[in-house]
Amino acid sequence: MGNADYECPRHVEIPPSKPFFKALKSSLKETFFPDDPFRQFKNQPTPRKLVLGLQHFVPILEWAPRYTFDFFKSDLISGITIASLAVPQGISYANLANLAPIIGLYSSFVPPLVYAMLGSSKDLAVGTVAVASLLISSMLGKVVSPTENPKLYFQLALTSTFFAGAFQASLGLLRLGFVVDFLSHATIVGFMGGAATVVCLQQLKGVLGLIHFTHETDVISVMKSIFSQVHKWRWETSVLGCCFLCFLLLTRYFSKRKPAFFWINAMMPLCSVILGSLLVFLTHAEKHGVLVIGHLKKGLNPPSVSDLAFGSPYLSTAIKTGIVTGVIGLAEGVAVGRSFAAFKNYHIDGNKEMIAFGMMNIAGSCTSCYLTAGPFSRTAVNFNAGCKTAVSNIVMATAVMFTLLFLTPLFHYTPLVVLSAIIMAAMLSLIDYEAVIHLWKVDKVDCIVCLGAYFGVVFGSVEIGLVIAVAVSLLRVLLFVARPRTLALGNIPNSSIYRSIDQYPVANNIPGVLILQIDAPIYFANANYLRERISRWIYEEEDKIKSSGQTSLHYVILDIGTVGSIDTSGITMLEEVQKNVDRKGLKLVLANPRSEVIKKLEKSKFIEKIGQEWIYLTVAEAVSACNFTLHTCKPNPGEIDGNRHDDSV
């Protein structure tokens, strides 16, 4: 680039400074209200604002007036379809949580009704979930035995559900939904896979017909419990369990091969319950060691406000269980809701979902229900059945209500081994080995996070796996902040574009100029590292120039276009870099500073030290200015603007 190419550079503007409280208000708005939920209230009369406010917090008031009979026909079919899945799953998952089977049916009645009024997803089908059931069993089972003290255990399960709901609703009301984002996709894949593995191992108790079993969830404890009771294995139960498991897996495989027959996979759990019950009833298998559910009382959910154990000595355990299960339930439910919303090209409000989940769990804890969320399997069935709105949840709840009022005696002979087979079939689909392979190909660190979560759950506990996954994810974020990338840039031939030399080997170095790009905000956590890394770049460049006999180094250009913010430690770092560069007889040049950065540099007097004339809008302009100075005056850069240089030193 010669002298003829040089054009007078454009001046870098310093944005006007905002009053502190105005800037703070803007920052808080961007943090907590990125979707600007108040825009619909602008320029509206007060009555209209009240209506909009009610519709915002109770979404059913918004879409119900537009509801049509065609929508109802679709929702009726999908609601009945997911009810056929909800009944056996509800009983199975309650059994997994060491709660009475009827509690699983209760939990499929009240919460879906609450969600239908408050939820923003058209496709999400709510109900009990296996991972939350396992968490409740493992965390509460450590302090209270569900067999020796079932009443206290039930009370703690309700209390943990209440705190889960309160935590979820608080996150939504305070607009703190980003907390759930700390559970990355890799974390959820590994955690769910590990939990599914543990659940499947736990179900060997039912398949083998064992009565006494370990409360631990790690694979070693489970294997010890199984093989220490070989003499208690029952072949009748094992054969029955294997037959039903194969039956369920085959129907699922057929449904995947023929998507039009998705309903077969949805109906098979209920069919398995019916077939198993008939088989036990006709053969009197319960007299030969096959355990059955037994009596289920008729009637709708009894109130349970008085059962909330706020004064229990185990309250801290209930709170911890509630927070952990609440976070997992939110992460799964919001992720599933967003995934299916993307298929139909509509948006769901994450904070509304959190409020809806919280309110349905608070209501559930007061009506004999334990924690509910938005399971993937049930939602997928609801979606494939052609649901149009959340009315499908109302239809499902109505079907469960009918079951509670009239059909519960029919489940008396349902064998527990069938419930175990239903759970195992559902859990095997959560072990997503293809996702792990994909993570390994795309991002090795994400794969390590995933495997850390998996092995933590399988060989430790559910809580350990979750802690490992979150800790590794946070460590990765901290490393990214503390050790940001710095790149050497070169000129793409026949253009004014400057890109990484590693990424574009054809990019040319500019003689006498070192161009560096900082690829992250500059904070106290990375300021020392960046100072040392920039110094090393300069040393390496000078050594390379000496060994090749090229033109000596005169300018160091820092491209800070990707530096979104900077703190006082970062500004001090730039001042130290400038002094170091000056001592070497070089000149520091800045390019492409962002508004927040340039404002702080101006307030800290750094611009006065470096000189306004050495700050440019683009790297190309900075290079042009450096080349122009080199080719016209050829001064010693340390002597440029000598008075200013001496002051800065």
User: Distance between CA 128 and CA 91 in Å, rounded?
Assistant: 9
Please list the ranges in the chain whose pLDDT falls under 70.
Answer: 1-8, 20, 28-38, 41, 177-183, 215, 260-263, 633-649
Is 64 part of a structural domain of the chain? no
Q: Which helix (H) or strand (E) holds 149?
A: none
Burial level of 410, CB count in 10 A (0-12/13-18/19+)? middle
- Same domain for 556 and 508? yes
- Same domain for 470 and 513? no
Is 645 part of a structural domain of the chain? no
- Closest-CA residue to 606 (of 582, 571, 580): 571
CB atoms within 10 A of CB 352: 20
Across the chain, which distance is largest between two alpha carbons, in Å? 104
- Same domain for 231 and 350? yes
User: Distance between CA 195 and CA 97 in Å, rounded?
Assistant: 13
Is 38 part of a structural domain of the chain? no
- Same domain for 135 and 225? yes
- Same domain for 326 and 464? yes
HEC sequence for 324-348: HHHHHHHHHHHHHHHHHHHHCCCCC
CB 370 within 8 A of CB 136: yes
Residue 6 CA neighbour count, 13 Å, CB half: 14
The residue out of 448, 476, 504 marking a domain boundary is 476
Helix, strand, or coil (residue 85): helix
Find tokens 């995934």 and name the residue: 339
Helix, strand, or coil (residue 516): strand
Is 1 part of a structural domain of the chain? no
Backbone angles phi, psi at 121, to 5 degrees: -90, 140
Q: What is the pTM of this model?
A: 0.74
CB 236 within 8 A of CB 418: no
Backbone angles phi, psi at 108, to 5 degrees: -105, 10
User: Distance between CA 118 and CA 144 in Å, rounded?
Assistant: 34
Q: Which helix (H) or strand (E) holds 9?
A: none
Is 277 part of a structural domain of the chain? no
In one-letter notation, the amino acid at residue 483 is R
In one-letter notation, the amino acid at residue 94 is A
User: Distance between CA 574 and CA 563 in Å, rounded?
Assistant: 13
Is 22 part of a structural domain of the chain? no
- Same domain for 94 and 160? yes
> What sign has the CA pseudo-torsion 305, 309, 310, 316?
negative
DSSP at 407:
I
**Tokens at 165, concatenated:** 């709901």
- Same domain for 126 and 230? yes
> What sign has the CA pseudo-torsion 505, 508, 514, 518?
negative
The residue out of 452, 476, 500 marking a domain boundary is 476
- Same domain for 509 and 449? no
DSSP at 429:
T
- Same domain for 327 and 441? yes
Burial 554-588 (b: 16+ CB within 10 A, else e): bbbbbbbbebeebeeebbbbbbebbebbbebebbb
Backbone angles phi, psi at 472, to 5 degrees: -65, -40
Range of the domain at 536: 483-631
Residue 58 CA neighbour count, 13 Å, CB half: 8
Q: What is the CA radius of gyration of the chain?
A: 32
CA 522 to chain centre: 27
- Closest-CA residue to 79 (of 382, 352, 320, 447): 382
Alpha helix stretches (DSSP H) within 203-307 = 204-208, 219-227, 235-257, 262-283
- Same domain for 437 and 526? no
User: Distance between CA 127 and CA 88 in Å, rounded?
Assistant: 12
- Closest-CA residue to 109 (of 408, 483, 369, 378): 369
CB atoms within 10 A of CB 460: 18
DSSP at 18:
P
User: Distance between CA 326 and CA 373 in Å, rounded?
Assistant: 9
What pLDDT score was predicted for residue 612? 86
What pLDDT score was predicted for residue 103? 93
CB 561 within 8 A of CB 592: yes
CA dist list (Å): 358 to 60, 235, 328:
17, 44, 13
Q: What is the CATH number of the domain that holds 523?
A: 3.30.750.24
The residue out of 454, 476, 498 marking a domain boundary is 476
pLDDT digits over 69-90, tens only? 888 988 998 888 888 888 888 8
DSSP at 123:
S
- Same domain for 339 and 450? yes
Starting at the earlier edge strand, list the strands of the sheet with 555-559. 498-500, 486-491, 513-518, 555-559, 587-591, 615-616
> What sign has the CA pseudo-torsion 296, 297, 299, 301?
negative
In one-letter notation, the amino acid at residue 481 is V
- Same domain for 325 and 460? yes
Backbone φ/ψ region at 486: left (φ over 0), alpha (ψ -120 to 50), beta = beta
**Tokens at 412, concatenated:** 């008396």
> What sign has the CA pseudo-torsion 334, 111, 140, 292?
negative
- Closest-CA residue to 329 (of 360, 370, 375): 375
- Into how many domains does the chain fold? 2
Is 199 part of a structural domain of the chain? yes
CB atoms within 10 A of CB 294: 13
pLDDT digits over 9-59, tens only? 777 777 777 776 777 777 766 666 666 666 776 777 878 778 877 877 888
Is 278 part of a structural domain of the chain? no
User: Distance between CA 454 and CA 456 in Å, rounded?
Assistant: 5
Backbone angles phi, psi at 615, to 5 degrees: -125, 125
**Tokens at 176, concatenated:** 């703190």
**Tokens at 479, concatenated:** 């490393």
Residue 229 CA neighbour count, 13 Å, CB half: 18
CB 132 within 8 A of CB 328: yes
Residues linked to residue 491 through DSSP beta bridges, in sequence order = 498, 508
